[in-house]
Amino acid sequence: MNNPSPMTERREPTISAPILKRASGRCLVVHDDLELRLRLAALVRRAIPKMDADCLSTASFDALAPDRVSGYLALLLIVEFSLRDDAADPLARLVRARGQAPQMPIFVFARGGDERNAARTIKLGANDYWPIHAVKIGELTEVLRPLAEPVRDAAAASTTMGATTVTVDSWRQPQIGGYRVLKTIAQSTTAAVYLARNDELSQPVALKVQALRGHVVTDADRQRFVRECKILSSLNHRSIADVLDYGITDEYSYLALEYFPCGSLRDRLKNPVSEADAINYARQIGEALQVLHAAHVVHRDLKPSNLMLTDDNRVVLIDFGSATVQREASDLSRSDLCTGTPYYVCPEQIANRDPDGRGDLYSLGIVLYEMLTGALPYQGENLGEIFAGHRSSPVPRLPRHVLRYQPIIDRLMAKSPDDRYPSATLFLEDLSAVSAPIRTSVDGTRPMGVSNT
C-alpha cells in the first residue's frame, strides 16, 4: 500500500461523535494500528475520490451502536491471523458486524492469513478478502465504485419491460424461476452460491448466481461465468461436477450444480489424511484431469477448495471459472493469478505464460504433497516469497513413511513443464505402480520408485 499523504487527518472520531450523520458517502476502517488503518483509508480515497473513510480502533468499533455501524456504505476490517492456538478468533468481529448489518458490504484485509482463512472469511459473511500486502487500487475501485454512486447504479441496474421496471439489487437473494433459495453458501463481489431446491430435481443443488447488471460485474466476469457453464456442460465424469441446469434471466446468469454437503478437500485437510485416502484422492483427481485434458481444457485453478467430497469418499472437481480451452489464446494478466491460489500456482503461470495440462499436474503435485505431509511445500510472509519457492526452491522431501512417492512428487512439481509428466495418464500409471503393495523381486531388489531407506 502507498503511504498516506502528509495531510491525512490523523484524529479519530470519538464514540460520542455523530458518526451516523457523517456516514453518508463514507466507509469505516477498523484496526488497532493507527498507521495501517490510515494507509488503507488513504487508499480508499485514491480509489474513489468522492468517498471518505472513518478510522476506528477495535475497541471504539466494538462500542458503536448497531445503527451507527449500518450507517456506513461499507466496513473494511483489517484482521490479524495468529498462529497461536490460544488466540481469540480473529473473525469474531466479522461475525458480529454481519449480524448487526446483514446487508452491509464487508471487506476483509488480512495479515498473516492463508487460503484456509480466506475460505472461512467468505463463509462467515465477508463480501471479499485480500491479503493486506496484495491490495490493488483497481480492485478496490471496482468494489467501491457502485457503493459511492448508488443513484447512477440504480438507474443502470434498471430496465423497463413494458410498464414494469426491474431493479437489480446484487446483495439480495436472487429470484430464479423454479428455484427456492434455502441459504447462502458463499458470496463474493461478482457471484454468490446458494443452497437451493428445484421441484423437478430430487436433490438440493448448489446454485451459482451472477448479477448481470449493477454490482462490480465486468465483461470478464460474465465471460468467465459463461465459459464455466459451457465447459462443465460438455464433460461427463464422476470426478467432475455435474451441471444440472444453467441459464440467463433478465437479472441473473445462473448455474445449478450438484450439492456437496460433505464440504471440500480443504475442510478435510484440517485433520490428517491417511496415506490410503491421499492416494485415492490423487487418483480420482488424475482421472478428472485425463477427461479435461482430452477435451483440451486446462483448469488453471486446481486446489483443495475446488475439490469437493461426497459421502462415499468421492472427490469432485468444481469451479471452472479460470479454465481455458487449450487451443485458444488467453490473455493471462496479473489479476488472473488472484483467481487461483498462490500456494498451488505453477511457475509458468507466475511468469505470465499460459499453462497447458502440465500446469494442472503441477498443482496436483502440491495437493498430493499437502495430503501426504499435512503441510504446504512453499510458504512465505508474502506473495514474492511464495512465488520464489515455486520458481527456484528445491522440491521438499517427503517423510520417511511415504518416501516411496518422492519420485512422483519430484516429477509432478518439476520447475520446467518439460520435466513433468506429459499426461495425467502416465502419472496414474506411476501412482498405481508405486502405491501397490511393496514386494521384493526375485533378485532381491525393490520395485522401481520404492525407496530403500
3 state DSSP class of 97: helix
Q: Which of 165, 368, 163, 164 is nearest to 277 (CA)?
A: 368
Q: Where are the alpha helices (DSSP H) in 13-149?
A: 19-22, 34-47, 58-62, 66-69, 92-100, 115-123, 137-148
Query: Per the structure block, which three cell numbers stand in for 193?
Result: 452460491
**C-alpha closest to that of 49 among 137, 179, 129:** 137
Q: How far apart are CA 23 and CA 101, in angstroms?
A: 14
The CA distance from 243 to 229, in Å, is: 8
C-alpha 205/C-alpha 201 separation (Å) is 8
**Partners of 54 in the beta sheet?**
28
- Cα 362 to Cα 354: distance, rounded to the nearest angstrom: 14
- Alpha-helical (H) ranges within 104-176 are 115-123, 137-148, 150-156
Virtual CA dihedral for 199, 202, 204, 209, nearest 10 degrees? -60
d(CA 211, CA 217): 7
Report CA-CA distances (Å) from 388 to 206, 370, 393: 37, 18, 7
Torsion of CA 28, 30, 33, 36, to 10 degrees: -50
β partners of residue 315: 309
Catalytic pick from 221, 301, 336, 360? 301
Instruction: For residue 110, give the nearest of 76, 86, 137 by alpha carbon.
Output: 76
Catalytic residue flag (residue 430)? no
Report which secondary-structure segment, H or E, holds 62.
helix 58-62
Q: Which residues are identified as catalytic?
A: 301
